[in-house]
Amino acid sequence: MLQPYEKEKPLLQIKGLQKYFPINNSFGKTVSHVKAVNNVTFELYEKETLGIVGESGCGKSTMGRTILRLTEPTAGEALYKGQNIFKFDDKKFLSVRKDLQMVFQDPHSSLNPKKRIGFSIEEPMKIQNIGTKNERTEIAMDLLNKVGLRADQYYRYPHEFSGGQRQRIGLARAMAVNPKIIICDEPVSALDVSIQSQVINLLQELQEEFKQSYLFIAHDLSVVRHIAHRIGVMYLGNIVELATTDELFKNPLHPYSQALLSAVPIPNPTVKKTRIIINGDVPSPTNLPSGCVFHTRCPHAMDRCKVEVPQLTKVAPGHTVACHLYE
């Protein structure tokens, strides 16, 4: 486990990241916004896997896509090696784009069905002017071997592969330009459990070999617990708790984190576990509650929670939480 992080220099720093999507009326006038990501701050270190968890619609995937500027941010900074990549023009951003890659959630739609998989793996290298045609082909075939496929499958089309194999192809494509950071957007959620374990083990082996950092977005807490060094818990576009994996599972502090972890099944029928039930529905991201966004469902909500936004506060080494209970 990587700790303490305070003595290391972050590879990527996200500060106050926001992504709002406008809602327009029939006249084209913006009348409101969907606040998908709302003031997210965290750091990612070299050779680290940072897990991001939370229920559907909390903004995890949008956050990952915004960091890579697949959708432009509304506000905030993304400091890669100390430089704010949100300020780069297209030409300058292309120069660092090879260091920042993504494995997409859907292994079916993330590959061009009309192109052989060899073309899909080589395309990032071609964009970055890496090697000759023969050298790119050799690298692509070598990557296929590394992700557990055969070099001769280079000439096949995506429909000839299973979901797990296609996810491996997506990983090979992300690895093609030897990136420093890979954002994994729920890379195993569409796969069978046995295939999930293969892909997770593969990610860990490749991280050990190529010294990469992962931002691992997922729903499955058992998967995140296995692969992540630290975990950030996200709710309605905000990170409400951030801690090392062992610390979070041993001592979750935020009421939402406690409820989330109480839902994780224990594979032992003799162990009794108290389930924490959250009442009420998730508020609309178009009309976020004032103060703490969780106060409408929190069993410990105080008057202060309704008007004052809690800030991420350090409560232990490597453990921060956004909750007035711990200030």
Rounded Cα–Cα distance for residues 63 and 32 (Å): 20
Rounded Cα–Cα distance for residues 176 and 171 (Å): 9
| Residue spans of beta strands (DSSP E) within the chain | 12-24, 30-44, 49-53, 75-80, 83-84, 100-103, 181-185, 213-217, 230-235, 238-244, 313-316, 319-321
Say what the pLDDT of residue 292 is: 94
Say what the pLDDT of residue 199 is: 84
For residues 116 and 154, the answer to whether their CB atoms sit within 8 Å is: yes
Q: What is the pTM of this model?
A: 0.92
Say what the pLDDT of residue 327 is: 81
Say what the pLDDT of residue 1 is: 42
Say what the pLDDT of residue 120 is: 94
Longest dimension (CA), the chain: 66
Low-confidence ranges of the chain (pLDDT < 70): 1-7
Rounded Cα–Cα distance for residues 114 and 300 (Å): 54
- DSSP code string of 46-87: TT-EEEEE--TTSSHHHHHHHHTTSS--SEEEEEETTEEGGG
- List pLDDT tens digits, range 94-104: 989 999 999 99
- List pLDDT tens digits, range 118-137: 999 999 999 999 999 999 99
* C-alpha closest to that of 236 among 16, 35, 73: 35
Rounded Cα–Cα distance for residues 182 and 58 (Å): 21
Place of tokens 């409820």: 259
- DSSP code string of 157-211: -GGGS-HHHHHHHHHHHHHTT--SEEEEESTTTTS-HHHHHHHHHHHHHHHHHH-
For residues 96 and 148, the answer to whether their CB atoms sit within 8 Å is: no
For residues 78 and 84, the answer to whether their CB atoms sit within 8 Å is: yes
Pairing of strands 181-185, 100-103: parallel
Q: 191: which residues sit within 8 A by CB, 6+ positions away? A: 107, 163, 164, 167, 199
CATH number of 6-99+208-326: 3.40.50.300
Say what the pLDDT of residue 313 is: 93
Say what the pLDDT of residue 5 is: 52
For residues 49 and 227, the answer to whether their CB atoms sit within 8 Å is: yes
Pairing of strands 230-235, 49-53: parallel
